[in-house]
Amino acid sequence: MTTPGGPLGGVKVLDFTALLQGPLATQIFGDLGAEVIKFERAEGEWMRHWGILASRTHGEIDSFLAFNRNKRSVVADLKDEATRLRILELAANADVVVENFRPGVMDRLGLGYEDFRAVNPSIVYACSSGYGQQGPYRERPGQDILAQALSGAMYLTGRRDDPPTPAGVGIADEYTGMHLAVATLAALLHARETGQGQRVEVDLLGCMIAAQQQELTVFLNGEQEPHTTLPRPRRNIGHVGATAPFGVYQASDGYFTMAMFPCTELADILDLAWLKEFETTEQMYQNRDHIHEQLSQVFGEDGRDRWLTVLAAGGVWCAPVLSYADLESDPHIAQMQIFWDVPFGDEGKTFRTVGSPIKFSETPPKVYRGVPKTGQDTAHYFPGLEAE
């Protein structure tokens, strides 16, 4: 098997992750050229059997396809002693181990950090969990919506009278996966410079709290009236801290958004004299629901394209609200080439997915290999060893 290039060419990753945040991190490593060896149960990891809408392509769950390109798949019974010893043999020449079991599971299997460090002192052992390795919640099952709930984030989303509202995407998983990747790469750089590996830890709850650092800094230090959380707007404005005219608006034929912009300047662009009375940031915040309601009536009288043309000509930050069906026809998104055709298995089949958003001038991320079928590479990494 050839080793791919890329900025992480030559880096070997032993991947014991499942579901989303761990596989996202290891897919990033694969996109950047690392050799990623994914260890799975004989029936495949959880995401091969569960995913949003139970949607499948080529018989494989689409949610699994989304996070497992540029990897090898090895079927491994981690409770088998011969398999454990073979994994440690591979670790002697590996750079990174990534796992997202509950705390203590890998240690009980004889595959914890100390076990890997004994055969390779420079190895980076990265683990992700729901709530961290310590504390009263450490044994609880961790999942995206649970982290959103515990972190306070659900009270930021939606309108004032809405119940606590989760995000429409797995934001805790995604944000944790990115932190896992960044932390692992930092530890890898340190290991390359010093020869010293280390254990790296992230968790869903901690990362979801960190995702709110702007909002929590305001809450913890600001001079606003006391609340249990930051007050949400009554209208469809979005961010809890946004000032008018920030928000989503409905034109006669579709939706568009506006970001921060002085109401006094918007008054001239739209010829709306009443907007001029909201001169300060405080006034635009305190009256944002009223301003949004009045502007909504104005914007409902004409088409979206006309309003976007008028607003853009005046320097207003604005954009149409696109559906998924609109994305590939948008000229800018098409130029980004953010959608990739990725192989599945070794039979020439492909599927469409979202590629890497990272750009390098010399070593761009790319598809070195597709998403493997379960155990596709077992014979190469476990020669003569048949996992149950």
- The per-residue pLDDT for range 13-41, each reduced to its tens digit, is 999 999 999 999 999 999 999 999 999 99
How far, in Å, CA of 374 to CA of 79, rounded?
Answer: 18
Neighbours of 197 (CB within 10 A): 22
Lowest mean pLDDT among 60-64, 169-173, 214-218, 246-250: 214-218
Written as six digits, the tokens of 139 are 């044994």
Q: Whole-number mean pLDDT of the chain? A: 94
Residue 386 confidence class, pLDDT cut points 50, 70, 90: low
pLDDT of residue 225: 67
pLDDT band at 2 (very low <50, low <70, confident <90, very high): low
Check whether the bond before 166 is cis (ω within 30° of 0): no
pLDDT over 80 (residue 197): yes
Q: Which CATH class is domain 247-321?
A: alpha beta
**Cα radius of gyration (the chain):** 25
How large a percentage of the chain has pLDDT more than 70? 97
Q: pLDDT of 35-60, one tens digit each?
A: 999 999 999 999 999 999 999 999 99
Does the model's pTM come out above 0.75?
yes
The ranges of the chain annotated as CATH 3.30.1540.10 are: 247-321
In which band, very low, low, confident or very high, does the pLDDT at 84 lie, cut at 50, 70 and 90?
A: very high
Q: How many CB atoms lie within 10 A of CB 98?
A: 25
Nearest alpha-carbon partner for 7 in 366, 276, 377: 366
Both tokens of residue 287?
């009256």
CATH 3.40.50.10540 domain position(s) in the chain: 12-210+336-381
Q: What's the CA gap between 335 and 324, in Å, rounded?
A: 16
Residue listed under structure tokens 């900025």: 7
Packing angle, helices 171-194 and 21-31, rounded to 10: 50
- Is the separation of the CB atoms in 75 and 41 below 8 Å? yes
- Tell me whether residue 17 is exposed, middle or buried, using C-beta atoms within 10 angstroms of its C-beta: 0 to 12, 13 to 18, 19 or more: buried
Q: Are strands 96-99 and 124-129 parallel, antiparallel or unpaired?
A: parallel
Distance of CA 272 to the CA centre of its chain: 41
Strand 349-354 with 339-344, pairing: antiparallel
Average confidence (pLDDT) over 344-349: 95
CATH class of 12-210+336-381: alpha beta
pLDDT of residue 8: 97
Phi, psi angle pair for 359, to nearest 5°? -120, 135
